[in-house]
Amino acid sequence: MSIIANFGENKKGMFPTHPHSVYKYCPKCGSNQFYPQKDNSLKCEDCNFRFYYNAASSVAAIIMDEEGRLLLTRRALDPFKGTLDLPGGFVGEDESSEDALRREVQEELGADVMEYRYIRSYPNRYLYDGVTVFTNDAAFVCTLKSYSNLKAADDVSSFVWLYPEEVKLEEIGISSIRRIVKEYLESR
């Protein structure tokens, strides 16, 4: 089974699950006069409301232990349920990326982030419930206050510590996370 999404893009970069193709009604007035624009938006011809579908912010934590092993989590939910991932998730409204990083690691592993260093961001898109979701995933290298007593929770079913040579990139479901892990391990 392939874990890579096939979006079926046409020559203009549009595909059946793109927001331009999926969202047909204005969320403000309900009109079906809701048309794609060239600036990542849809505009209602009846009430002039403009809906932007910019990339959502998310965070990913690269956590290595004293033995040089990488912590990978197993996704408990779709999309990509059962595949490997890094701890992390979406940045909430009125939340910084750094606060989201600390919150997500606490929620998913019961651990406190002691220090972190931003690496870079990675664009991503994946299919969720019939709609393509665009994200911008900020990667951080983190150290934890304690590496003992970690517990999988929230949307993580389990976790594993792997030496770099044990990591199988094809088992990581989300393409941006796969790139984060690959580039980080190659840079070490």
Tens digit of pLDDT for each residue in 36-54? 999 999 999 999 999 999 9
Q: Report how far residue 155's alpha carbon sits from residue 166's, in angstroms, rounded to the nearest whole number.
A: 24
CB 84 within 8 A of CB 73: yes
Its pTM stands at 0.89
Q: Report how far residue 154's alpha carbon sits from residue 156's, in angstroms, rounded to the nearest whole number.
A: 6
Q: Report how far residue 76's alpha carbon sits from residue 80's, in angstroms, rounded to the nearest whole number.
A: 9
Strand partners, 71: 161
Q: Is 105 helix (H, G, I), strand (E, B) or coil?
A: helix
Q: Report how far residue 81's alpha carbon sits from residue 56's, in angstroms, rounded to the nearest whole number.
A: 20
Strand partners, 156: 75
In the numeric block, the tokens 């392939």 are attached to 2
pLDDT one-digit tens code per residue, 60-115: 999 999 999 999 999 999 999 999 999 999 999 999 999 999 999 999 999 999 99
CB 104 within 8 A of CB 139: no
The chain-wide mean pLDDT, for the chain, equals 93
CATH 3.90.79.10 residue ranges of the chain are: 56-187
Homologous superfamily of 56-187: Nucleoside Triphosphate Pyrophosphohydrolase (3.90.79.10)
